[in-house]
């Protein structure tokens, strides 16, 4: 009997999850630049959607447990730092996702394996794939282990990012939480340009642009804060 070699054995080891369905991890590693290819019919954007929600729930649960006396504002700052693209990209680099990414020749040639936004999206997609492959407990275990030291290494600063600052500003005035809507996406898959709009009931919306959805949302939040005369928030992703 010939045993098939597991293509992503080392990555599975680093993640701490052995996939029953190998197709899921392959799709999670497939960037949108491969869309339309004859050999590839799906990419990781749908899995990213799931993984983003899984990550958010697990991180929220972990923070409530770890900081029982923390205020909502402190929890929000810690939460946003742990789920933002930079944190996801750091984890992706730590487990070695880059070499396994499935990219178009143009994206790979432009350094796509090292791009923070691509790594962050792939990391979220892998979490989504783990959720579908092994259920919530499996994905929860992976997130808790891989994100365990992130909050200690990158504690919330006195100057929160724009999205965190906007959320605190809205909560402080008794307003609804901000909602972000992708207005448009232009340009080729390897160099997209996003426009996002932030909406808060009772306020005029604001828009921002960026090279990723996260960056566009940060820019939109920064624009609303600037319009309202709120200073001191970082607008980077």
Catalytic residue numbers?
Answer: 52, 124
Rounded CA-CA distance 79/161 in Å is 12
Contact criterion met (CB below 8 Å) for 196 and 220: yes
Rounded CA-CA distance 14/220 in Å is 36
Contact criterion met (CB below 8 Å) for 92 and 98: yes
What does each C-alpha distance from 103 to 15, 100, 128, 136 come to in angstroms? 21, 9, 19, 28
Rounded CA-CA distance 103/30 in Å is 6
Q: What's the token pair of residue 12?
A: 């599975």
Please give the span between the terminal C-alpha atoms of the chain, in angstroms, as a whole number: 51
3-state secondary structure of 196: strand
Farthest CA pair distance, the chain: 70
> For residue 113, how far is the Cα from the chain centroid?
16
């Amino acid at each position: 009997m010939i045993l098939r070699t597991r293509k992503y054995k080392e990555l599975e080891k680093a993640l701490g999850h052995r996939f029953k369905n190998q197709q899921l991890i392959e799709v999670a590693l497939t960037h949108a630049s491969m869309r339309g290819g004859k050999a590839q019919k799906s990419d990781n954007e749908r899995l990213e959607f799931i993984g983003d929600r899984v990550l958010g729930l697990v991180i929220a649960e972990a923070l409530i447990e770890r900081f029982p006396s923390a205020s909502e504002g402190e929890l929000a700052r810690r939460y946003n730092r742990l789920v933002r693209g930079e944190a996801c990209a750091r984890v992706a680099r730590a487990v070695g996702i880059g070499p396994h990414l499935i990219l178009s020749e143009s994206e790979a040639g432009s350094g796509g394996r090292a791009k923070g936004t691509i790594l962050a999206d792939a990391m979220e997609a892998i979490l989504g794939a783990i959720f579908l492959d092994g259920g919530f407990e499996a994905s929860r275990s992976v997130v808790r282990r891989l994100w365990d030291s992130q909050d200690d290494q990158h504690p919330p600063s006195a100057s929160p990012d724009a999205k965190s600052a906007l959320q605190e500003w809205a909560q402080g005035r008794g307003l609804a939480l901000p909602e972000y809507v992708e207005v448009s996406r232009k340009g080729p898959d390897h160099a997209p340009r996003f426009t996002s709009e932030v909406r808060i009931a009772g306020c005029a919306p604001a828009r921002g642009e960026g090279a990723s959805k996260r960056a566009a949302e940060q820019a939109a939040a920064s624009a609303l804060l600037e319009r309202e005369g709120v200073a001191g928030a970082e607008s980077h992703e």
